[in-house]
Amino acid sequence: MNKPVDCPDTEPMGPFRSIGAKTKREAMAVVFTVGRQGRMAELIQYAGTCTELTTTQELQADRRKEWVHTA
């Protein structure tokens, strides 16, 4: 999906060169990649913190109960 990004020609290329980009297209690709990685890093802090999920042992016990009642 293409997203229009307003990147005026009047701004200096200094920030682009600091990340090693030679063109605006390369710079925007780096910016989007770094942004995605940052969002994923923020989400990782929540991994394993949900106490509402059913454990494997609880799920297997529930299935055994259902199987016994249907047999």
**pLDDT at residue 37, as a whole number:** 82
Question: How far separated are the first and last CA of the chain, in Å rounded?
Answer: 52
- Contact between 13 and 28 (Cβ < 8 Å): no
- Nearest Cα to 30, choosing from 17, 41, 21, 39? 21
> Tokens 């109960």 label which residue?
65
- In whole angstroms, what is the distance from residue 62 CA to residue 50 CA? 20
| pLDDT tens, residue order, the chain (71 aa) | 566 666 666 555 666 667 777 777 887 788 778 778 888 888 888 887 878 888 889 999 999 988 877 76
**pLDDT at residue 61, as a whole number:** 92
- In whole angstroms, what is the distance from residue 12 CA to residue 24 CA? 11
